[in-house]
Amino acid sequence: MTQQERRLPLEGVKVADFSWFGAGPICGRLLADYGATVVRVESETHIDALRTVAPFAKGKTGYNVSGYFNNYNAGKLGILLNCNTDEGQRIARCLVEWADIFLTNITPRVIERWGLTYENLVKINPQIIAAYQPMQGFDGPHRDFLGFGAVLTPITGYNHLSGFPGRPPMGLGTNYPDYVINPGHTFVAIMAALHYRNRTGKGQHIECAQLESSCAPLAPAIFDYTANGRVQGPQGNNLPYAAPHNAFKCRPLSDGGRPMDETWIAIACFSGEEWQALVEAMGPSAQGWAQDAKFASLAGRKENEAELEVNIRAWTADKDPYDLMEDLQARGVPAGVVQSAREMLDVDDARPRRPAVRAVEDAWVRPVSGPAARRAHGVRMQGDPGPRRRGHRGADGGRGAGVKDNESARPSVRATI
């Protein structure tokens, strides 16, 4: 394979990443994964607060030890820039002139104060692709509302749908819009804008309001209300069109005499064929109850779902979850072990065959935060050499001494702009 064939698809694309926390930086991380040169801009006076969020490497301190931050900013260059000063704004304009893509999820009022609106950027760089991720858009009464994924999940309806019937809304346990929806939608829009620019030579102004983006996956619930007047509510792990569809406890496992995490297996039957395959897998233990006519159809299994789950739970209780998963999958029954982070990294023998999580091997990351694993991009292309092995250059140049020496992050950028 030649060097040309091993090039990543976005090599040569330059990105000025003026975002922070999750939705913007994760999009920037995707761009970096596919070869773009991404310069992450932070401020010495107001660092990205994600640097202060756990998990931290045990026994490590400083601004560069957050696994949370390091994971979503791997593969980027970094610069400290105070855009509240004239000099900071001058350098920001130099970055815009240098870049192909400008990316930000900062509140509109701050973008306007810094003079980084599209109307200003296009005067500096007529071919710029400027992608903005305001939480609730650039117009309307809530344009300047502050928020994160934990705010978007309740106001967009996720919390109303999550949890179990008869209990208070519990949310998703994570900032789901930040991780999956907003950065993914913005990334796709940027790819479309790059394609458009390659054909026409013209840039683009992209607005991906996080609220609207987050509502998109809720289309079934929205359609159910608009078409049927039905307000969907929490269903726990169940689905209206599958039964069984839940997680069932298995027997405890040990690892060299050390108890492992609680073990569960998720089992889902979406068709009569899958249900019959599950019955066959359960064998003699299911010959009595599973043959009852009330379990013969999806409607019957849904109507008697509580009894169905009690019986399946009794069957899985003494099973090894990994052996059971292999058997059910071989029979055509959707099933998967509910793994902890430790099991995913240390136990799952499928990971070496397709590494969705890869170790960071970087000269400055290891001394500062220790060896770490980070998420690799999930799309593999022919000739793809894999993600870069460098981590994000820290706020203090990777020495873990606090935000004091901003010169250490600048030379690689200054040499380019």
Catalytic one among 48, 178, 362, 396? Answer: 178
DSSP string of 191-260, one letter each residue: HHHHHHHHHHS--EEEE--HHHHHHGGGHHHHHHHHHH-------TT-BTTBSSEEEEE----EETTEE-
Res 187: pLDDT: 97
pLDDT for residue 311 is more than 80 = yes
Q: pLDDT tens digit string along 152-197?
A: 999 999 999 999 999 988 888 788 889 889 999 999 999 999 999 9
Res 62: pLDDT: 87
Its pTM stands at 0.82
Report which of residues 69 and 408 the model is more confident about: 69
Res 369: pLDDT: 62
- Mean pLDDT score, 297-301: 97
- Mean pLDDT score, 222-247: 95
Res 392: pLDDT: 52
- Mean pLDDT score, 324-337: 97
- Mean pLDDT score, 267-290: 94
- Decide if 14-217+354-414 and 245-343 have a common fold: no
CATH class name, domain 14-217+354-414 = alpha beta
Q: Tokens 């289309």 — which residue?
A: 219
35-44, 72-81, 240-249, 257-266: the lowest-pLDDT one: 257-266
- For the chain, the structural domain boundaries read 14-217+354-414, 245-343
pLDDT for residue 59 is more than 90 = no
- Mean pLDDT score, 315-337: 96
Mean pLDDT of the chain: 84
Residue 48 annotated in active site: no
Percent helix, strand, coil in the chain (nearest 5)? 40, 15, 45
Res 343: pLDDT: 78
CA distances from 417 to 39, 72, 91, 96, 412 (A): 11, 25, 9, 9, 9
With CA atoms as reference, report the closest residue to 128 among 267, 283, 18, 247.
18
Res 415: pLDDT: 31
Q: Work out the pLDDT band at 404, boundaries 50, 70, 90.
A: very low
Res 379: pLDDT: 72
Report which of residues 128 and 405 the model is more confident about: 128
Rounded CA gap, 53 and 42, in Å? 16
Rounded CA gap, 385 and 361, in Å? 15
Q: pLDDT tens digit string along 191-225?
A: 999 999 999 999 999 999 999 999 999 999 999 99
CB 29, CB 73: distance < 8 Å: yes
Q: Which CATH superfamily is domain 245-343 in?
A: formyl-coa transferase, domain 3 (3.30.1540.10)
In this prediction, what percent of the chain has a pLDDT beyond 70? Answer: 81
- Mean pLDDT score, 255-282: 86
- Mean pLDDT score, 27-52: 93
Res 397: pLDDT: 43
Long-range contacts (CB closer than 8 Å, 24 or more residues apart) made by 409-413: 409/77, 409/78, 409/79, 409/80, 410/79, 410/80, 412/77, 413/39, 413/77, 413/79, 413/95
pLDDT for residue 258 is more than 60 = no
78-82, 110-114, 255-259: the lowest-pLDDT one: 255-259
Res 5: pLDDT: 53
pLDDT for residue 398 is more than 60 = no
Res 401: pLDDT: 28
With CA atoms as reference, report the closest residue to 25 among 188, 178, 205.
178
| Token pair in block for residue 141 | 């009464």
DSSP string of 43-87, one letter each residue: -SSS--GGGGSSPB-TT--STT-BHHHHHHTTT-EEEE--TTSHH
Q: Tokens 């990994």 — which residue?
A: 322
